[in-house]
Amino acid sequence: MASYVVRRVLSIALVLVLISLIVFVAIHVLPGSAATLILGEYATPESLRVLEREMGLDRPFAAQYAAWIGGVVTGDWGYSLAMKRPVTAIVGLRLRNSALLAGFALLAVVLIAIPLGTLAALRRGRWLDLAILTGSYIGISVPEFVTGMVLILVLAGPSLHLFPTGDYAPLAAGLRTWLSHLVLPALTLTLVLLAHVVRQTRSGLVEALQSAYVRTARLKGATERRVVVRHALRNGLLPAVTVIALDLGYLMGGIVVVEEVFAYPGMGRLILYAIQNRDVPLLQVSILIVAATYTFANFAADLAYAWLDPRIRYR
Amino acid sequence: MTALARANPPLTIGILILGCVLTFAVLAPLVAPYGVAEQNILDRLQRPGAKHLLGTDQYGRDLLTRTLFGGRTALLLGLGAVALGLLLGVPIGLASGYAGGRTDEVIMRVVDAFLSFPALLMALMIVTALGASTMHALLAIGVANAPGIARIVRSQTLAVKHEEFVLAARAQGDSHPYIMFGEILPNLLPPIVIEATIRVGFAILASASLSFLGLGVRPPTADWGLMIREARQHIFLSPWPLLCPGLALALTIVGFNLFGDGVRDRLAGRG
Chain B residues closer than 8 Å to A18 by CB: 109-110, 112-113
What is each CA distance from A311 to A243, A305, A314, in whole angstroms? 19, 10, 6
Cα B165–chain centre separation: 34
Give Cβ neighbours of residue B47 (< 8 Å, ≥ 6 apart): B55, B238, B240
| Contact residues, chain B to chain A, C-beta under 8 Å | 109-110, 112-114, 116-121, 124-126, 128-131, 201, 205, 208-209, 212-215, 225, 228, 231-232, 235-236, 239, 242-243, 246, 249-250, 253-254, 257-258
Confidence of residue B225 (pLDDT cuts 50, 70, 90): very high
Residue B210 has pLDDT above 90, yes or no: yes
Residue of B nearest to A159 (CA): B236
How far apart CA A77 and CA A20 sit, in angstroms, is 13
Residue A29 has a pLDDT of: 55
CB contact under 8 Å between A275 and B215, yes or no, is yes
- Interior CA angle at B127 toward B124 and B133, to 5°? 130
Chain B residues closer than 8 Å to A290 by CB: 118, 121
CB contact under 8 Å between B118 and A249, yes or no, is yes
Strand partners, A85: A80
Q: Which tens digit of pLDDT belongs to each residue from B124-173?
A: 888 888 888 899 999 999 999 999 999 999 999 988 888 888 889 888 88
CB contact under 8 Å between B205 and A26, yes or no, is no
Per-residue pLDDT of chain A (315 residues; tens, 9 = 90+): 677 788 888 888 888 888 888 888 877 654 455 666 666 667 777 777 777 777 777 777 788 888 888 888 888 888 887 788 888 888 988 999 998 998 899 889 889 988 888 888 888 888 888 888 888 888 888 888 999 999 988 888 777 777 887 777 777 777 888 888 888 999 999 988 888 888 888 888 888 888 888 888 888 887 888 888 777 887 777 777 777 777 777 787 788 999 999 999 999 999 999 888 878 888 889 988 888 888 888 888 777 777 777 666 654
Partner-chain residue, chosen from B117, B205, B232, that has the shortest CB–CB distance to A291: B117
Partner-chain residue, chosen from A22, A143, A250, that has the shortest CB–CB distance to B118: A250
Q: What is the mean pLDDT of chain B?
A: 87
Chain B residues closer than 8 Å to A19 by CB: 113, 116-117
Residue B48 has a pLDDT of: 85
Over the Cα atoms of chain B, what is R_g? 22
Residue A34 has a pLDDT of: 61
What domains does chain A contain, in order, with CATH numbers?
A: 2-74 (no CATH), 89-314 (1.10.3720.10)
Domain ranges of chain B: 54-267
The distance of A20 to chain B (nearest Cα, Å) reads 9
Q: Which tens digit of pLDDT belongs to each residue from B236-269?
A: 888 888 999 999 999 999 999 889 888 888 877 5
Chain A residues closer than 8 Å to B253 by CB: 140-143
CB contact under 8 Å between B209 and A250, yes or no, is no
Residue A38 has a pLDDT of: 66
Which one-letter DSSP state was computed for residue A170? -
Partner-chain residue, chosen from B112, B130, B250, that has the shortest CB–CB distance to A15: B112
Strand partners, B56: B62
- Contact of A60 with chain B, judged by CB distance below 8 Å, is answered with no
ipTM for the whole complex: 0.86
| 154-193 of A, contacting B, C-beta below 8 A | 157-158
Partner-chain residue, chosen from A22, A137, A257, that has the shortest CB–CB distance to B257: A137
Q: Which tens digit of pLDDT belongs to each residue from B186-206?
A: 989 988 988 898 899 989 999
Strand partners, A86: A79
Partner-chain residue, chosen from A145, A250, A295, that has the shortest CB–CB distance to B116: A295
Residue of A nearest to B119 (CA): A253
CB contact under 8 Å between A31 and B118, yes or no, is no
Buried b (16+ CB within 10 A) or exposed e, B187-221: ebebbbebbbbbbbbbbbbbbbbbbbbbbbbeeeb
Supply the CATH classification number for the domain B54-267: 1.10.3720.10
Confidence of residue B271 (pLDDT cuts 50, 70, 90): very low
Percent of chain B, pLDDT > 70?
99
What is each CA distance from B52 to A165, B66, B155, B242, in whole angstroms? 29, 12, 52, 16
CB contact under 8 Å between B124 and A256, yes or no, is yes
Chain A residues closer than 8 Å to B250 by CB: 138, 141-143, 146
pTM score? 0.87
Do residues B169 and B183 lie in contact, with contact meaning Cβ atoms separated by under 8 Å?
A: yes
How far apart CA A106 and CA A109 sit, in angstroms, is 5
Q: What is the dihedral of CA B257, B260, B263, B269, to 10 degrees?
A: -90
